[in-house]
């Protein structure tokens, strides 16, 4: 089974390497086997490889903060997900498969592209935290700069859902004045 690991910090193209790991065992009680389908490359992933993002991982570490995978087997006592379900993944997602605790997994809706689902964990949750920390109230105005990223797009969608008025980026407002 292949995975992207790093055993030192530095430039991503110098420290990330594809390694062969032993195949994981069958899932035990409360576990699921998941084959990884898609995982994006975020700026946070690249900073992590440099040792410059949030909590610095113990080395060697598996790369990738988010992704989506396919449940290929479930252990005894797992009945809320089934073989064939797609699930969100977090941490060490640049790999082929893994045995995970099933408790934090849930089936994703069918018909949505795996490449889009794979990006649901990092940026939308960051946007939600921004809105929550700002204690956004309905009818308040929101302006956010540097909003062209996934965080910015999710921020405005969530702000609008929370009832904010004028949910626009500075760039969008500037383009409307010319």
* 68-123 tens-digit pLDDT: 999 999 999 999 999 999 999 999 999 999 999 999 999 999 999 999 999 998 88
Q: What is the DSSP string of 106-165?
A: -PPPTTS-HHHHTTSSHHHHHHHHHHHHTT--TT-EEEESS--SHHHHHHHHHHHHTT-E
Query: How buried is 46 (Cβ within 10 angstroms: 0-12 exposed, 13-18 middle, 19+ buried)?
Result: middle
Pairing of strands 61-62, 66-74: unpaired
Evaluate the CA torsion angle 82, 69, 90, 117 in order and state its sign: negative
CA distance 116 to 105: 17
Share of the chain above pLDDT 90, in %: 64
Q: Is the pLDDT of residue 172 over 70?
A: no
Q: Which comes out higher in pLDDT, residue 94 or 135?
A: 94
Is pTM, for the whole model, over 0.85?
no
Which whole number is the average pLDDT over 154-163?
84
pLDDT score for 139: 83
For the chain, the average pLDDT equals: 89
157 vs 142, more confident: 157
> Residue 152 above 60 pLDDT?
yes
Angle between helices 122-133 and 150-161 (to 10 degrees): 50
pLDDT at 176 exceeding the cut of 60: no
| pLDDT for position 88 | 96
pLDDT band of 166, cuts 50, 70, 90: low
Residue 148 binned pLDDT confidence (cut-offs 50, 70, 90)? low
pLDDT of residue 60: 96
Q: How far is CA 24 from the centre of its chain?
A: 22
**What pLDDT score was predicted for residue 82?**
97
Q: Which of 24, 30, 53, 134 is catalytic?
A: 53
Check if 123 is active-site: no
pLDDT of residue 177: 46
């Amino acid at each position: 089974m292949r995975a992207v690991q790093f055993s030192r910090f530095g430039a991503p193209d110098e420290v990330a390497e594809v390694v062969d790991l032993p195949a994981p065992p069958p899932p035990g009680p409360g576990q699921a086997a998941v084959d990884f389908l898609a995982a994006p490359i975020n700026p946070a992933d690249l900073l992590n490889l440099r040792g410059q993002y949030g909590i610095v991982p113990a080395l060697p570490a598996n790369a990738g903060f988010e992704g989506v995978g396919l449940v290929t087997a479930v252990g005894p006592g797992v009945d809320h997900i089934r073989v064939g379900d797609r699930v969100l993944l977090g941490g060490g997602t640049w790999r082929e498969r893994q045995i995970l605790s099933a408790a934090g997994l849930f089936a994703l809706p069918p018909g949505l592209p795996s490449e889009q689902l794979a990006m649901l964990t990092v940026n939308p949750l960051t946007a939600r935290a921004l809105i929550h920390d700002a204690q956004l109230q309905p009818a308040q105005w929101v302006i956010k700069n540097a909003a062209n990223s996934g965080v910015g797009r999710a921020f405005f969608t969530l702000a609008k859902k929370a009832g904010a008025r004028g949910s626009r980026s500075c760039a969008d407002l500037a383009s409307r004045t010319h």
